[in-house]
Every structure is written in C-alpha cells, then in structure tokens.
Amino acid sequence: MNAALTFRVLGPVEAYLNGQAVGIGGVKPRTVLASLLLAPGRTVHDARFSELLWETTPPRTQAAQLYTYISRLRRTLGSGVQIVRMHGAYQLRMSSASLDYDDFVDLSCRGVARLAVGEYEPAHALLSTAVEQWTGSALTNTTRCLADAELPGLTEEYLTAIENKTTAALGLGWHERIVPELTRLVAEHPSREHLRAQLMATLYLCGRQSDALDVYHAGRRALSAGWGVDPGVELRKTYQAILEDRIPDIVHNGSAAGHPLAPH
C-alpha cells in the first residue's frame, strides 16, 4: 500500500504522512515547500527563492543554503513527491500526494457549477467543504515576503467561496442561520462590499429592515474613512431595495454580475 502524503497551506504550512505530522523544519524550509506547492507548474526559479527567503539581502551562501533546504525536504518527504533541478529552478512533482489548496479549488469549482444551475443544496455542501479546508490564515509559518505575495489572492478566493456559499444558503431559505457568520466576516473585511450587501439582504429577509439599513450606513462610513470612496453600485442598489421594502436583487442573482464567481 502506498503511503498517503498530504500537504496543507491553508493555515500553517504542514505535511502529513499517513496522518502523522512530518517534521519539515522552520520558517525557511516551509517557505521553500509552500513556494513550490503554490507556484504555476510547481516550478520556482532560484532568483524567486532568493527573494522569498531573504528579500533584498541574500547571504553569499544563498545557493548552498537553498540546496540544503531542498535536500532536507527530499529526504523528509520521501517517494510521494520529487523535487527536480531544471534550468536554474526547482520543480515539485507530486505523484501520490495531495494538497488542501487543490482540494479547495476543485470543490469550489464544482460548487459554482451546481450553483449556476440552481442546485442549491449540493452547491452549499460542496462550497462548505471547500471552506472547511481552511484552518486559519494561510501560510502563517512562512516568510513575510511569501505571505505578502500569496495571501491576498488566497484570501480573495476564500471570501469568494464564502459569498457563493451564502448565495446557496439564501436560495435554500437559510437566512436566519447565516447571520452570525456574515456579521463576523463583514466586521473582519469592512471593504468587502458584496459580503456587506449579502448581510443586508439576509437581515432584511429575517425581518430586520432597520438593522440592514444600519449595516449600509456603517459600511458607508468605513469606506469613506478608510479608503475615501463611496459605496458601489451593488451596495447602493441593495440599500435602495431595502429602503423600498422589497427583496434585493442580490438574493436572486448571487453576485453583481448575476452569476456565481469561480476561483482562479
């Protein structure tokens, strides 16, 4: 029986072999591993490694240190993966290993496909499982340079999955049960207008029209104070619908474009 090797980057960077944690070292070897796991084609050039590991002040021994990190990963991870040297770069080849980010993208895309044809229950199940791949803020034990480069995109995909899951929940009439999660997410991401519009619509469907309007005004103040901008079209339309005591379009459309959003 082949050993099951799994990687996690949607939280602390970790590796597990048959369910047992694999010791992959400190911040820098975890940065090397995460860089390979998330890179297009899972190939990273030496210059990129240098930037991610040491930013603008690499040591004179950077090539030797990088080789040491790669060698240790090869020994530790075993036959589940290969790290191959090619044309001034290293490439990670995964034969029998799995990655939580790959699972997240697959589940999200399948959920979006179900959502697009109005199959709300399987869409919600798939998107919920996708979101559950996250165990905290991604890449927490890697270098600041890697986190700065990758975390914004990963967070965008995570929030998009949350928004699509919310659309499915609204389609199922589950508005009361999703208010706490939406309230927390809007507080954590005050500039995320689509989430705020979803919270407003959800509160309205719960019979809390005044609370929904308060959420709009709080968002307008936050956007003005933090970014010097006014609410966008979707947020204004949601506000106007609630003011006129009618169901906002976002409940039916799911997104400003009228269709669910897929991860990159």
Q: What is the pLDDT along the chain (264 residues), one digit of tens a residue?
A: 456 899 999 999 999 998 899 999 999 999 999 999 999 999 999 999 999 999 999 999 999 999 999 999 999 998 889 999 999 999 999 988 999 999 999 999 999 999 999 999 999 999 999 999 999 899 999 999 999 999 999 999 999 999 999 999 999 999 999 999 999 999 999 999 999 999 999 999 999 999 999 999 999 999 999 999 999 999 999 999 999 999 999 997 664 333 344 444
What would the two tokens of residue 47 be? 């210059």
Contact criterion met (CB below 8 Å) for 92 and 37: yes
Distance CA 131, CA 159 (A): 9
Q: Which pLDDT score, from 0 to 100, does residue 264 have?
A: 46
CA angle in degrees (0–180, nearest 5) for 154-190-38: 5
Distance CA 93, CA 80 (A): 9
Longest dimension (CA), the chain: 67
Q: Which pLDDT score, from 0 to 100, does residue 1 have?
A: 44
Q: Which pLDDT score, from 0 to 100, does residue 95 have?
A: 81
